[in-house]
């Protein structure tokens, strides 16, 4: 199954999803398409003027172009997701997802999709981490069983 | 960027803090696989770049070296890309601070993977007022 993760660039989430045989919809795959595209030749920019226009599918015109540009990257991942894992309260500026409004909109879009969803808090201690890992594994195993029963 | 390069994928192989294998050993094992890959040695493990099927094969074999302590993730930019490479820009690469932050938890993640436990995903629900009254009455006795 294709699993959307949030933060979409999280090592722990992506790794755990792949360990259970699912495909993690990570941000890096979308970024790769843009930075290795032969048509885009303007380093260090990897966003073109097209992105805020594509982002209109997810956010209104009055929303800042930064949010729309980001949504043009996150949006296709959200659309392709068959299940999702959201880890809230990740450390501020977690990689390249430092835009709080985009994060809120992405999480809202994931919740609105009506797909199987697991919501967690970013762990800070040993106990919390172990619980989070066990919960993610239980959730992913449940998806496997669901997939098998649906044929 | 050539067409050939644009079809390649990059993956980071990260050694957990309790890994039984050292970083130079990992690099040596990756080279010993004799796969058509670009392998870059890094402080956290390695970055491999190549065709998707070959990279996946290498990652799978690398993971089997120490299943619970070797982690992998995708990377958008190819290794040594002048837009991201530390050698050209100076300072930490974007994404390194995130990796550093997540690395703090990797030891606990490995522990959880080694000793899995069954947990319930159901959220605790609120008890009814009647039940709460009964409990309050019992406490008063």
| pLDDT above 60 for A6 | yes
Helix-, strand-, coil-residue percentages of chain A, each rounded to 5: 50, 15, 35
Domain boundaries, chain A: 2-149
Q: What is the mean pLDDT of chain B?
A: 89
- Three-class SS of residue B40? strand
> Closest residue of B to A119, CA-based?
B121
Instruction: Report A:74-133 residues touching B (Cβ under 8 A).
Output: 91, 93-96, 118, 123, 126, 129-131, 133
Q: Give residue B55's pLDDT.
A: 94
| pLDDT above 80 for A44 | no
Using one digit for the tens of pLDDT, what is the confidence trace for A60-85? 999 888 888 888 889 999 999 999 99
CATH topology assigned to domain A2-149: Rossmann fold (3.40.50)
Q: Give residue B98's pLDDT.
A: 84
Nearest to A133 among B74, B94, B109 (CB): B109
- Per CB-CB distance under 8 Å, the chain A contacts of B1 are 36-38, 41
Q: Give residue A64's pLDDT.
A: 86
Q: Give residue A41's pLDDT.
A: 57
- Domains of chain B, start order: 3-114 (3.30.70.250)
Does ipTM exceed 0.90?
A: no
Q: Which residue has the tokens 């974007």?
A: B94
| Best mutation target, B68, B119, B123, to test chain A (most A CBs within 10 A) | B119
| pLDDT above 80 for B65 | yes
Using one digit for the tens of pLDDT, what is the confidence trace for A114-126? 999 999 999 999 9
B141 to chain A nearest CA, in Å?
37
Nearest to A10 among B10, B83, B102 (CB): B102
Note whether B11 and B73 are within 8 A (CB): yes
| Beta-carbon count within 10 A of A40 CB | 16
């Amino acid at each position: 199954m294709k699993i959307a993760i949030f933060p979409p660039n999280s090592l722990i989430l992506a790794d755990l999803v792949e360990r259970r045989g699912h495909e993690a919809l990570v941000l890096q795959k979308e970024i790769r398409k843009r930075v290795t595209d032969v048509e885009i030749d303007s380093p260090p920019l990897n966003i073109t003027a097209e992105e805020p226009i594509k982002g209109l599918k997810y956010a209104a015109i009055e929303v800042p172009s930064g949010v729309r540009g980001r949504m043009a990257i996150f949006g296709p991942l959200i659309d392709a997701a068959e299940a999702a894992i959201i880890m809230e309260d990740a450390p501020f500026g977690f990689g390249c997802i430092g835009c709080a409004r985009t994060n809120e909109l992405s999480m809202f879009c994931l919740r609105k999709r009506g797909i199987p969803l697991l919501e967690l808090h970013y762990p800070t201690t040993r106990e919390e981490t172990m619980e989070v890992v066990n919960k993610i594994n239980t959730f992913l195993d449940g998806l496997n069983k669901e997939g098998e029963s649906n044929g | 960027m050539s067409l050939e390069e644009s079809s390649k994928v990059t993956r980071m192989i990260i050694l957990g803090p309790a890994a039984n294998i050292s970083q130079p050993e990992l690099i040596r094992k990756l080279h010993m696989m004799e796969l058509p890959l670009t392998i870059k040695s890094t402080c956290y493990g390695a970055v491999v770049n190549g065709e998707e099927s070959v990279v996946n094969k290498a990652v799978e074999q690398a993971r089997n070296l120490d299943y619970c302590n070797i982690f992998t993730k995708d990377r958008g930019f190819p290794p040594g890309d002048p837009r991201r490479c530390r050698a050209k820009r100076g300072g930490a690469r974007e994404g390194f601070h995130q990796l550093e932050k997540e690395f703090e938890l990797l030891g606990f993640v490995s522990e959880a993977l080694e000793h899995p436990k069954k947990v319930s995903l159901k959220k605790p629900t609120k008890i009814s007022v009647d039940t709460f009254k009964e409990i309050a009455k019992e406490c008063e006795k």
